[in-house]
Amino acid sequence: MPDLTKLTALPTADWDPELADVISAMNNRPLNVHKLIANNPALLKAWWPLRQYIVSGGSLGTRNAEVVILRTAMHMRNTYEWASHVERGLAAGLAADDIDKIGARESSGLADKDALLVAAVDELVAHQRLRAASLAALAVHFRQDQLVDLIAIHSTYTMLGYLLNTWPVELDEHVSSALPEDSLRRW
Burial 129-139 (b: 16+ CB within 10 A, else e): ebeeebeebbe
Q: Is 61 exposed, middle or buried (0-12, 13-18, 19+ CB in 10 A)?
A: middle
50: left (phi over 0), alpha (psi -120 to 50) or beta: alpha
Q: What is the pLDDT of residue 3?
A: 80
Q: What is the pLDDT of residue 185?
A: 60
Q: What is the pLDDT of residue 10?
A: 96
Instruction: Tell me how far apart the 2 most distant CA atoms of the chain are, in Å.
Output: 54
Residues 6+ apart with CB under 8 A from 92: 57, 62, 63, 65, 66
Say whether 128 sits in a helix, a strand or coil: coil
pLDDT above 60 for 186: no
Q: Are 32 and 3 in contact (CB under 8 A)?
A: no
**Mean per-residue pLDDT for 153-180?**
94
Residues 67, 148: one domain?
yes
46 occurs within a structural domain = yes
Residues 155, 88: one domain?
yes
Residues 40, 63: one domain?
no
68 occurs within a structural domain = yes
CA distances from 154 to 25, 60, 160 (A): 23, 12, 10
**Mean per-residue pLDDT for 23-33?**
97
Q: What is the pLDDT of residue 184?
A: 67
Residues 50, 73: one domain?
no
Could you write out the DSSP letters of every residue in 129-187?
S--HHHHHHHHTT--HHHHHHHHHHHHHHHHHHHHHHHS--PPPHHHHHHS-TTTTTT-
Q: For residue 125, give the CATH number of its domain.
A: 1.20.1290.10
Residues 103, 144: one domain?
yes
| % the chain with pLDDT above 70 | 96
2 occurs within a structural domain = no
pLDDT above 70 for 110: yes
Count how many domains the chain has: 2
Residues 21, 84: one domain?
no
What confidence category does residue 177 fall into, taking pLDDT thresholds of 50, 70 and 90? confident
Residues 20, 83: one domain?
no
pLDDT above 60 for 124: yes
What confidence category does residue 121 fall into, taking pLDDT thresholds of 50, 70 and 90? very high
Q: What is the pLDDT of residue 5?
A: 84
Residues 63, 78: one domain?
yes
Residues 150, 84: one domain?
yes
Residues 34, 104: one domain?
no
Residue 12 to residue 54: CA distance in whole angstroms: 23
Q: What is the pLDDT of residue 13?
A: 97
Q: Could you tell me the pTM of the whole model?
A: 0.94
154 occurs within a structural domain = yes
91 occurs within a structural domain = yes
Domain that holds residue 50: 14-55
Residue at 49: amino acid letter: P
117 occurs within a structural domain = yes
169 occurs within a structural domain = yes
Residues 120, 158: one domain?
yes
Residues 138, 63: one domain?
yes
